[in-house]
Amino acid sequence: MIISLAGSSVTPRSMHITEDGELVCSTWDDTIARVKVDTGTVVFNNSVPQIHALRGVAIASDGSILVADGDNKTLHLVSSQGAWTKQLWSGPSDRDQLDELWSVSVDGSVCVCATRAGSVYILDCLY
């Protein structure tokens, strides 16, 4: 199956498929979007002012969304409807240590964030 988002406001940067078959993604316009895969219908496409450079996204077991902010080197929790909830983690203060927290995956409560220096941070996210 191929879905087209051409003509919509969603240009995915990083994405994750939910258990109910929807696509959740960060976009090149720094928004978080949810799209119905079977129809290509955009459920929401929200700007989240607390997050400045949306990179990786992942779905938590409760349906909430984990989002990495590449500029601020932070990890955020966002509701399943795209509303900011809280910041979960802040990376090292040395800006040269992190390029982008762009690859976020979830296994239970563990988040993995890849970095420029070849380091990987494995976080216990208490959300």
Confidence (pLDDT) at 56: 82
Q: What stretches of the chain adopt beta strand conformation (E)?
A: 12-17, 22-27, 31-36, 42-47, 54-59, 65-69, 74-78, 84-90, 104-107, 110-114, 120-124
Tell me the per-residue pLDDT of 35-54, one tens digit each, with 9 for 90 and over. 988 888 889 999 999 988 88
Q: Please tell me the predicted confidence (pLDDT) of residue 5.
A: 66
- For the chain, which ranges sit under pLDDT 50? 99, 101
Amino acid 1: pLDDT = 55
Would you state the pLDDT for residue 60? 81
Domains of the chain, by residue range, sit at 12-124
Task: Please state which CATH class domain 12-124 belongs to.
Answer: mainly beta
Are the C-beta atoms of residues 73 and 102 closer than 8 Å to each other?
no
User: Looking at residue 85, what is its pLDDT?
Assistant: 93
Counting every residue, how long is the chain?
127
